[in-house]
Structure 1
Amino acid sequence: MASRVPSIACIGIIGKHNNPLHISLFPPDERAPLEFSFLLSSCLDIFEARLPHKTADQDFGLLQAVDERLAMYGWLTNTSVKIIIVVDMEGRLATTADIKSSATIGLRDADLKPAFRALQTAYIGLLRNPFYDPDEHSPVTANAEQRVGSTQITSRKFIQEIKRIGDTWAPGVTNI
């Protein structure tokens, strides 16, 4: 039997008003978007419950294990945007590099920090774009007259960076 290692199944960017800004599935054609939307929504209460007890650390660690296969990890930005990574513990076949590393042993919270940092950097890059207005993507501030599009992030550069991060990450990777 071939050995398998964890991989990212879903990345969700959730706005400060708990509105989904972006959801990426890995691989997209093998995942059910509605199922992962529900899973991401189920984490919002966990963020709220842990928020009063958090200090300066943005890493919320393991939010919940859905079953023996899927686990959800969270990160909170300074602007109260939540980043959620759903990890599929049997995600992909192990390569020779995975077998030589400690990736086949399991998954630690620290294994996801490079991915969270890369995702936060991608989001900061999006915020630095003068044509991106985060208030346009907020259901509280974007009323029917102001809103031209949806509340989803549509920046191709941002979406490509999220896809790159999701495809690149593996346990033991220290820089993405």
Structure 2
Amino acid sequence: MATRVPSIACIGVIGKHNNPLHISLFPPKERDSLEFSFLLSSCLDIFEMRMPLKTADQDFGLLQAVDERLAMYGWLTNTGIKFIIVVDMEGRLAASGDAKVSSAVGIRDADLKPAFRALQTAYINLMRNPFFNPVEASALKAGVDQKISSDQINSPGFIKEVKRIGEAWTAGATTI
């Protein structure tokens, strides 16, 4: 029987006004996007409850576990952007290099820090791009002259980097 190891099932980037900016599923054809949208939304109340308790630490750790298979972990940037990673505990077949991970019962909050740091770096690089302007794009689509940032992130470079992070992460990895 093949051994299965934890893998990322979903990565969500949520705006500071709790608007979804980007959602990636892994593997996309095998996951229900509506189900994961609901799961990500259910984590927002947990962020709000823990917000007064958090000051300098950005890692919110385990937000909630749906069942013995899916667990959601959170990270908050200093600008209010929330990253949520949903981990599928039986996500994929173990590769030859995953032998030490396959014996683990679960994952620790620290196992996801490299993925969150890589996501934050990808988001910072997106915001540093002089050709990306989320305020202008959303205001033009809404047909208003209001400064709101509620548009989905559709940058091919950012989407590619999120996909790379989701596929490259393994429990116990120190860098991604």
Same fold at TM > 0.5: yes
Corresponding letter in the other structure for 1:31: R
Q: From the superposition, tell whether residues 137 and 62 of structure 1 become closer, same or farther in structure 2 (CA, over 3 Å).
A: farther
Contact 2:10 2:24 in 1 (8 A): yes
Report the equivalent of 2:163.
163
The CA RMSD over aligned residues, in Å, is: 1.9
Contact 1:135 1:142 in 2 (8 A): no
The answer to whether residue 67 in structure 2 is matched with residue 67 in structure 1 is: yes
Contact 1:13 1:22 in 2 (8 A): yes
Contact 2:4 2:102 in 1 (8 A): no
Measured after TM superposition, the shift of residue 132 of structure 1 is 1.5
Q: TM-score, normalised by structure 1?
A: 0.92
Report the equivalent of 1:104.
103
**Deviating 4+ runs (over 3 angstroms):** 136-139
Instruction: Measure, in 1, the Cα distance between the counterparts of 2:74 and 2:144.
Output: 34
Unaligned runs of 5+ in 1: none
Number of equivalent positions: 172
Q: From the superposition, tell whether residues 19 and 137 of structure 1 become closer, same or farther in structure 2 (CA, over 3 Å).
A: farther
Instruction: Measure, in 1, the Cα distance between the counterparts of 2:17 and 2:102.
Output: 36
Q: From the superposition, tell whether residues 66 and 56 of structure 1 become closer, same or farther in structure 2 (CA, over 3 Å).
A: same
Instruction: Measure, in 2, the Cα distance between the counterparts of 1:129 and 1:146.
Output: 23
Q: From the superposition, tell whether residues 74 and 136 of structure 1 become closer, same or farther in structure 2 (CA, over 3 Å).
A: farther
Instruction: Measure, in 2, the Cα distance between the counterparts of 1:68 and 1:26.
Output: 18
Residues 113-147 of structure 1 show CA distances to partners (whole Å, capped at 9, x for unaligned) of 000000000000000011212334778x9853359
Report the equivalent of 1:40.
40
Q: Percent identity?
A: 73
Unaligned runs of 5+ in 2: none
Corresponding letter in the other structure for 2:25: L
Corresponding letter in the other structure for 1:22: H
Report the equivalent of 1:144.
143
| Secondary structure, counterpart of 2:111 in structure 1 | helix
Q: TM-score, normalised by structure 2?
A: 0.92
Report the equivalent of 2:19.
19
Measured after TM superposition, the shift of residue 104 of structure 1 is 3.2
Q: From the superposition, tell whether residues 146 and 72 of structure 1 become closer, same or farther in structure 2 (CA, over 3 Å).
A: same
